[in-house]
Amino acid sequence: MTDMGKGMAMARAWIGVLLVLLASGGCSKGKDPSESASIDRKVDELLRKMSLEEKVGQMTQVTLQVVAKDSAHDELDPEKLRNAIVNHHVGSILNVVDAAYTLDQWHRIITQIQDVALKETRLGIPILYGIDAVHGANYTRGATIFPQNLGMAATWNPELMRRNGEITAYEVRASGIPWNFSPVLDIGRQPLWPRLFETFGEDPYLASVMGAAYVKGLEGDDNRVSRPDKVAACTKHYLGYSFPLSGKDRTPAWIPENMLREYFLPTFRAAIAAGAHTVMANSGQINGVPVHASKYLLTDLLRGELGFRGLLVSDWADINNLHFRDRVAASQKEAVKLAVMAGIDMSMVPEDFSFYELLLQLVREGEVPESRIHEAVRRILRLKFELGLFDNPYPNPALKEKFGSEEFRQVALQAARESITLLKNEGELLPLPKTARILVTGPTANSLSCLNGGWTITWQGDREEFYPQEKLTILEAIREKVEPQNVRFVPGVTFDRPLDVKAAADAARGVDVVIACVGEPAYCETPGNIVDLTLPEAQLQLVEALEQTGVPVVLILVEGRPRVVRRIVDRARSILMAYLPGLEGGQAIAEVLFGEVNPSGKLPITYPRYPNDLTLYDHKYSEANGPYNRYDPEWPFGFGLSYTTFEYSNLTVAPSRIARGDSVTVEVTLRNSGQRAGAEVVQLYLSDLYASVTPSVRKLKRFQKLVLEPGEEKTIHFRLGEEDLAFVGRDGRLQVEPGEFRITVGPLSAGFELVNR
């Protein structure tokens, strides 16, 4: 069996594990009860010794800038550090000052911080350090960098996602950091949103599978995060952050309760069932209520209904934002009270000690009960014990051995390969012969930053000078595949303005094929806001000029969200969606272009055809019921071509009639009918034909990725239970109604009926 084939088998097993977790409806099992009781005793004993000031300090998290020297981004100021830890009893620190550090720099920083905490404070409570390692250990130089989550979702390979988590955990812990602010479990249903690339796409089931696999990669099967190569996961941003009405980051979302539960809650439910230790709150607001001030969302729903028992941390400055931005609190002090009483355990303040000072006042004045402080601090201390920080909070030098290793790089390269999605291949232009004369052009052709996007070395990921020069851009990777004299490079345009379009068009007339690399520069969060999904005019004009030459054009889309390219689609011969494929992306793209890799990626989003037609795949029947209402994307969710072909046959659904509590078995045969080996993602969709809440046309319920040799066929088996037929009813509760259902797999469909016993 090939490595990819082994991965597919493990991926099938992982989906089964997820279904068990979801069915359990609670936290991951398997923790030693005696060990848990022992930690409880240690926490209680420590709490009894702590002063109010020490407890409130544990709830306070500041950024590294607060304790750093102004003159050097990797040096700490001893007096500032003591002021934070000794005087203000700060329990947690996060972030970098400017850019990623080397392992040695991290070790020096973490050691200096923990020395003060352990040797200069009364109780010696270690610091909990956190970092946003969202696609690898992206704030450590030389780390293994993976595709951003949208690209990982395009692999439809949970085992690869799990390996991503394992490697990220290893390299984050190798840096001396035990807490990772990841994964992003927001659902990408608003394509304008600048953080779309951080999501696993628009579908709750796909995102739940991938997210739970990543949590297990970070934390391990039994979630024993005290292991030296594991970290605590922090699922974010609970809840509904990714659906702002305007599409702009941190602007209001308007989400009805049943929609919130149907689409935005399942990923967090799955991650909590998988044992995730921590959660970060949504920075925005839903229906006019900031999530940081919502006791319903943060306590009643998260803890009461989902059963979450871990640490809940705020997002950056969002408690202060209740006063300064959201204006639901008349003062910073009131904002602190609102957030703490709503359920926030730790405040990412993050640039001063205002939270500490104000919360002390609130407790002393009786506005916040000390019992609430004890509750929060107990969760913080428990996490520190579970991470093994009380035994040894210092970096482990032994983990340097595999950091940034070739073994890890190969996994990131495989992830990039499997993410790339072939959207068009007219006349089988691809793969290209290595003898072809090629023009490479466009703003994403010779840049590493655009392959990685935000959260890479720096916050915005746009500092090209910091990227490792041994990594290959798309242009450099193409040049390694062919004779150098056969490749010309003319940029043509920047991301948003022309340079010399005529020069690019003239150069095209002397080659066999043009590879036009278009898309977006690196960005992250609010600086990535846009007002139009359309690809910038300069890039469209470049491609149009190239297409007018009559030379075949291959489009490579390097982008964190689906920029509308309608004007240049029809005349392009081939189109590859690369997403943000990471540091190995250039090599992976070149391997696909020249046929060394057969593309197998499938879209985890609907790719819109028009800027104002953003209908998603699981739309309601009324959204696609005639010539004026259609699901008419450029490319649909789940779409992706291959250099081979696949045939589906023999779909059976049995029995055709089931009662409540029963299940149906679905079988389908897949055959590779082409001339080369390839991977196909078999996708099972369920349609509820009639329901008391308008049903979606279809919803993804299962998938399986298989590798088949030419002529090989396999029969795939799925099982659907009653829980798969459920929907959120008018009362906001999950319910199942008798009626007719239809299963669709590939081009085939079959029905069954659910009846009351």
Cβ-based neighbour number of residue 732 at 10 Å:
13
What's the chain's length in residues? Answer: 757
Q: Are strands 60-63 and 92-94 parallel, antiparallel or unpaired?
A: parallel
Per-residue tokens: 564: 């509308």
The CA distance from 274 to 281, in Å, is 18
User: What distance in Å separates the CA atoms of residue 24 and residue 51, rounded to the nearest whole number?
Assistant: 39
DSSP, collapsed to helix, strand or coil, labels residue 329 as: coil
Question: Which CA distances in Å does 606 have to 141, 484, 534, 703, 731?
Answer: 35, 38, 15, 17, 29
| Residue 364 token pair | 């002393």
Active site members? 315
Instruction: Report d(CA 753, CA 84) in Å as an integer.
Output: 64
CB 706 within 8 A of CB 679: yes
d(CA 67, CA 351): 10
Alpha carbon distance 262, 732 (integer Å): 9
Buried b (16+ CB within 10 A) or exposed e, 213-238: bbbbbbbbeebbbbeebbbbbbbbbb
Distance from the Cα of residue 164 to its chain's centroid: 11
Burial bucket for residue 34 (CB in 10 Å: 0-12, 13-18, 19+): exposed
Q: Specify which residues 281 forms β-bridges with.
A: 238
The CA–CA distances, whole Å, from 172 to 71, 102, 167, 181, 404 equal 26, 12, 8, 11, 11
Q: CB burial class (10 A; 0-12, 13-18, 19+) of residue 352?
A: middle
Name the β-bridge partners of 384: none
Q: How far is CA 327 from CA 250, 283, 322, 541, in A?
A: 14, 14, 6, 45
Contacts of 158 (CB under 8 A, 6+ apart): 11, 14, 15, 18, 209, 210, 212, 213
Amino acid at 340: V
Query: How far is residue 67 from each of residues 110, 180, 356, 639, measured CA to CA in Å?
Result: 12, 20, 16, 49
Instruction: With H, G, I as helix, E, B as strand and everything else as coil, classify residue 489.
Output: strand
**CA–CA separation, 285 vs 308, rounded Å?**
21
Distance CA 166, CA 164 (A): 6
d(CA 197, CA 199): 5
- Rounded (10°) CA dihedral 736, 740, 745, 750: 150
Q: Which two tokens stand for residue 94?
A: 């996060």
